[in-house]
């Protein structure tokens, strides 16, 4: 089966965050892969991954990194496959450094940037699902059902007495 969505991250230490993207892709039955591709420790592998992405049929790459988080931007520089960037919370600056590194791409090379941490990882995957759903009515129905389920959960929320 052709992999549709690539999930890459700079380190295995990013997995706690990035697994939330993978869980969403699994839930929606999206063909995906997850790998460590470090921008500064494996730059040649990173370029090779980006260069092969379109030819392999990837529809989007979800890239998570922390600190001086250049992985999403450098991937985007080497492919026109959409790159969805997830800032991973860093030890010292809590991911604000990661967010700024990923979101502040100069004009011309876009990276769609999501929230710091697990919400960003999950939302990047939901965004990828939405992209695929544009050409897949059954997947769109699943996404709508997911939203409806969330709505029901919110409607049934109760609050404790003040």
How far is the CA of 102 from the CAs of 44, 78, 142, 148, in angstroms? 20, 15, 30, 31
Verify binding: residue 14, ligand RP5, rule CB under 6 A: yes
Verify binding: residue 11, ligand RP5, rule CB under 6 A: yes
Which of 44, 130, 121 lies closest to 85, judged by CA? 121
Residue 90 annotated as binding? Answer: no
Which of 95, 114, 100, 98 lies closest to 24, judged by CA? 114
Task: Pick the closer one to ligand RP5 by CB: 13 or 151.
Answer: 13
Which one of 23, 38, 109, 115 is in contact with ligand RP5 (CB under 6 A)? 38
Cβ at position 64, least distance to ligand RP5 in Å:
7
Site for ligand RP5 in 56-85 (CB under 6 A): 65-67
Is the Cα dihedral 151, 153, 156, 158 positive or negative? negative
Verify binding: residue 19, ligand RP5, rule CB under 6 A: no
Which residue matches tokens 């997830």? 86
Structure-token pair, residue 88 = 């991973």
Cβ at position 12, least distance to ligand RP5 in Å:
7
Verify binding: residue 97, ligand RP5, rule CB under 6 A: no
Contact between residue 9 and residue 64 where contact means Cβ atoms under 8 Å apart: yes
Q: Which residues are annotated as a binding site for substrate?
A: 11, 14, 41
Q: Which residues are annotated as a binding site?
A: 11, 14, 41
Which parts of this chain interact with ligand RP5 (CB under 6 A)? 9-11, 13-14, 38, 65-67, 88
């Amino acid at each position: 089966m052709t992999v549709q969505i690539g999930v890459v991250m700079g380190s295995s230490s990013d997995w706690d965050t990035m697994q939330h993207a993978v869980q969403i892709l699994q839930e929606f039955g999206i063909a995906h892969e997850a790998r460590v591709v470090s921008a500064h420790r494996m730059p040649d592998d990173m370029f090779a991954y980006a260069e092969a992405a379109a030819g392999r049929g990837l529809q989007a790459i979800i890239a998570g990194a922390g600190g001086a988080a250049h992985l999403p931007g450098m991937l985007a520089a080497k492919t026109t496959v959409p790159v969805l960037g997830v800032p991973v919370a860093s030890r010292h600056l809590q991911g604000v450094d990661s967010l700024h590194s990923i979101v502040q791409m100069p004009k011309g090379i876009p990276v769609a940037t999501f929230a710091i941490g697990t919400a960003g990882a999950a939302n990047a995957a939901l965004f990828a699902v939405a992209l695929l759903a544009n050409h897949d009515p059954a997947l769109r129905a699943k996404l709508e059902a997911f939203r409806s389920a969330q709505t029901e959960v919110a409607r049934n929320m109760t609050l404790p007495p003040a």
